[in-house]
Amino acid sequence: MNFIIPFIILITVVVFIHEYGHYYFARKYKVGVTDFSIGFGKEIFGFNDKNGTRWKFCLVPLGGYVKFFGDRNVFSQAEQAKILKKYNKEDQEKLFITKPLYQRALIVFGGPLANFLLAILIFSSIYMFVGKDFTQPKIDEITVNSPAEKAGLKKNDIIIAIDDNKVLSIREVSTFINTNSSESIDITVLRNNREITFKTETKLVETEDAFGNSIKKKIIGISIKPATDEINQKKLGPVSAIYYSIQEVWFVCKTTLSYVGSMLSGKADTSQLGGPIKIAKISGQVAEFGFLAFVTTIAYISISLGLINLFPIPLLDGGHLMFFLFEKILGRPLSQKTQEGFFRIGLFLLVSLMLFTTFNDINTW
């Protein structure tokens, strides 16, 4: 129960925001919405609003959907002429398929956009009311015969950049090392007022995270401490908070795409890839650390949901956008038969990924 309740709250928030993004643009462009569902399967409770939309919470809280008036799915514009005959002129104006291409694209993109905006809102609020860490990291100790020692790093070097990432906080050192997809990193330090860059190998070790979970972590063999022996946490103004929040969203997206690229090329460690079971476990563990840690996790999960939904896989928002791109290039939608073929491929990929992540979850539980 310690895992289930935080997990349901987390999933409900990120899914609701995602689906509301679709709903907002659908209503903006006067597309009829018949259902707004959190979860799948049997309805537990719900209500109808004045616009005729059924808002409901269903038994299996592992996703959600917004159902448009008259549409089986957003691919149905390929049968537009056939479908239009079933509706009078007033109802035709509420159909998704009758809207211009850019409006359909915005309705579909609205879900991932809402997820990114939620993350920006959460990060901005934290930076404004709690503060952002700007503690400069300094190397305190170097392990003998470690990659760092072999590369030439020394005690009291102040770390200012790792690869193309400027290091603003002591907390970012481990993050930048572990999100690097190659076997080596460029680490730039300040030594005697001179900037020097060293290329160092990374070493993968088995360790535990803050919750006691077994993880694989990249290290270079250093321990760090604040350069001034003090933690420097600053509360930011709205503009600065939004700026750094956008940077954080971009960093998460960039590193995720880099990881996916490494995974497809067979270079990434896929043992850490998790699914619903792992998210449930982590959400429960994080909730024990307090509200701030929990909402921060919501922000990161929201980014992941938004980005994954943009992958060009049928069944996902990115798959719909891919079909819209074909429609723009060809001047007409792909045939229903072609779209259904892509649909089957997408279903196979998603089911395979779900089974793989579930297998990983069970093995690491």
Catalytic (active-site) positions: 19
Which residues partner with 133 through β-bridges? 233
Number of C-beta neighbours around residue 7 at 10 A: 21
Q: Compute φ and ψ for 52, nearest 5 degrees.
A: 90, 10
CA atoms within 13 A on the CB side of 169: 15
Among positive and negative, which fits the CA dihedral 286, 288, 292, 294? positive
Q: Is 205 left (phi over 0), alpha (psi -120 to 50) or beta?
A: beta
Integer Cα distance of 310 and 296 in angstroms:
22
Q: Give residue 151's identity as a one-letter amino acid code.
A: A
Largest CA distance in the chain: 79
Measured CA to CA in angstroms, residue 93 lies from 11, 69, 73, 244 at distances of: 33, 10, 17, 42
Residues 218 and 202 sit within 8 Å (Cβ to Cβ): yes
* Three-state secondary structure of 62-127: EEEEEEECCCCCCCHHHHHHHHHCCCCHHHHCCCHHHCCHHHHHHHHHHHHHHHHHHHHHHHHHHH
Integer Cα distance of 295 and 122 in angstroms:
7
User: Strands 165-166, 137-142: parallel, antiparallel or unpaired by DSSP?
Assistant: unpaired
